[in-house]
Amino acid sequence: MQAIRLATTGQMMPLVGLGLWQMPNNVAKDMVVEAFKSGYRLLDSAGDYGNEKETGEGIQSAIDLGIVKREDIFVTSKLWNTCHARQHVRPAVERTLSDLGLTYLDLYLIHFPVSLKYVPFEERYPAGWFYDPKQQEIIQEPVPMRETWQAMEELVDAGLVKSIGVSNIPKRLINEILTYARIRPEVLQIEHHPYLTQEDLVTYAKGENMAITGYSTFGGNSYVELSERARNSPNLLTNDLITELAGKYKKSAGQILLKWSVQRGIAVVPKTSKGERLKENINIFDFELSEDDIRRISSLNRNLRFNEIENVTVYA
């Protein structure tokens, strides 16, 4: 498996991982084991996904079966919006570690640059976006990004996480974090596909020696039930150019999209609950796209974002 070397820690982050968003709880354990059997070594998780216990069971099962060792795999999780205050950051990662059955994370990201009112774990976990799900009401509770970042740094000091980073965050906030960070963000995770290439942000992050992970590489398919924008947008997997290139390279449309990302040094974390798709998604290292075809794919950009943060304030 090809990997990206993280600038400060020197950790090797695999270029292809298994994304666990929307992974059904009843299949998560088996899919994690199957992923490791298929050659995956990166898992992209989050407390908000609600399946970290099952993910952890899969990790332990794979270790017990001798498929992997803990030191062979790279596990990412994310800090949810309700836990941005300093006193809530460590309990959040400790809950994740407990659910996953791990003693440390390889990478911990701030999931969104949005701070919501705290919801005690015993009241509801994961908390979700709404303070009161019955009212579907979002209540923000401002926490300066600096406070959250310093609490993230303390997790590294405590040995609970090896690297820290950010997700879904604009350039201006990365720039601000860099002005006070004692431990720099190693990774930026963003929505990234040919309809949303975010070239300026990608160039900036790479210039700051941040590794980049792109999610939703296949476009809006995962958001059809969540977003009218996704329902009304053209399907990237059936785009004429992508279909043409799939025929040219004798690969699937999904493999073309994944290759477009990783060949440009951007890691991917496609999600699937199908064993055959698991193998397909990782089988992208036996061909190269031409530079012209990479440019053609990138030209599909229309700044079309599916994971839109609406009606909330992004804090600095």
The binding site for substrate consists of: 111
Task: Give the rounded distance of the alpha carbon of 316 from its chain centre.
Answer: 21
Say if residues 267 and 4 touch (Cβ distance below 8 Å).
Answer: yes
Structure token pair of residue 86: 């300093």
Catalytic residue chosen out of the listed positions 49, 131, 195, 315: 49
* Angstrom distance (rounded) from CA 17 to CA 268: 6
Q: Is 118 a catalytic residue?
A: no
Active site residues: 49
